[in-house]
Copies of this chain bind each other. A is one copy, B any other.
Amino acid sequence: MAGEHCFLLLNEDKPREACGVFGIYAPGLDVARLTYYGLYALQHRGQESAGIAVGDGKCITCRKGMGLVSEFFTEEILSRLSGSVAIGHVRYSTAGESTVENAQPLTFHYQQGMISLAHNGNLTNCAELRRELAQSGAVFQTTADSELIVSLIARAGTGDLLEGIMEAMERIRGAYSLVLMTEKRLYGIRDPHGMRPLCLGRLDGGYLLASESCALDTIGAEFIRDVLPGEIVMIDENGITSLKPHQPQKRALCVFEFVYFARPDSVIDGLNVQTARLALGRELARECPLDGDLVIPVPDSGTTAALSYASERGLPFGEGLMKNRYVGRTFIRPSQEMRDLGVRLKLNPVRESLAGKRIIMIDDSIVRGTTSGKIIQMIREAGAKEVHMLVSSPAVTHGCYYGIDTSEKGELIAASHCLEEIREFIGADSLHYLSRKGLLAAMAPIPPDELCDACFSGNYPVDVPCSQA
Cβ–Cβ contact B324 & A318, under 8 A: no
Cβ–Cβ contact B110 & A40, under 8 A: no
Cβ–Cβ contact A307 & B317, under 8 A: yes
B-chain residues with CB within 8 Å of residue A108 when the two chains form the complex: 139-141
**Contact among B135, B154, B330, B344 with A111 in the assembled complex (CB-CB below 8 Å):** B135
- Given A36-B332, A138-B154, output 8 extra A-B contacts at Cβ < 8 Å: A30-B337, A40-B324, A47-B326, A73-B332, A74-B330, A109-B139, A218-B348, A300-B325
Judge if A239 is at the interface, Cβ distance under 8 Å: no
Cβ–Cβ contact A33 & B264, under 8 A: no
Judge if A155 is at the interface, Cβ distance under 8 Å: yes
What are some 11 contacts across the A-B interface (CB < 8 A)? A69-B328, A70-B330, A111-B135, A115-B139, A134-B154, A137-B156, A217-B344, A219-B338, A274-B353, A311-B316, A317-B317
Cβ–Cβ contact A109 & B140, under 8 A: yes
B-chain residues with CB within 8 Å of residue A219 when the two chains form the complex: 338, 341, 344
B-chain residues with CB within 8 Å of residue A407 when the two chains form the complex: none
Residue count of chain A within 8 Å CB distance of chain B = 88
Q: Shortest 3 CB-CB distances between A and B: which pairs? A: A137-B155, A70-B328, A111-B134
Interface of A is mostly: mixed
Report the minimum CB–CB distance from A332 to chain B (whole Å): 6
Judge if A457 is at the interface, Cβ distance under 8 Å: no
**Contact among B135, B138, B263 with A137 in the assembled complex (CB-CB below 8 Å):** B138
B-chain residues with CB within 8 Å of residue A447 when the two chains form the complex: none
Cβ–Cβ contact B345 & A37, under 8 A: yes
Instruction: Give Cα distance in the complex from A43 to B317, angstroms.
Output: 27
Judge if A78 is at the interface, Cβ distance under 8 Å: yes
Q: Which of A279-328 contact B (CB under 8 A)?
A: 300, 303-304, 307, 311, 316-319, 322, 324-328
Cβ–Cβ contact A134 & B107, under 8 A: no
**Contact among B140, B220, B318 with A344 in the assembled complex (CB-CB below 8 Å):** B220
Cβ–Cβ contact B111 & A326, under 8 A: no
Q: Which of A330-351 contact B (CB under 8 A)?
A: 330-335, 337-338, 340-341, 344-345, 348-351
Cβ–Cβ contact A68 & B326, under 8 A: yes
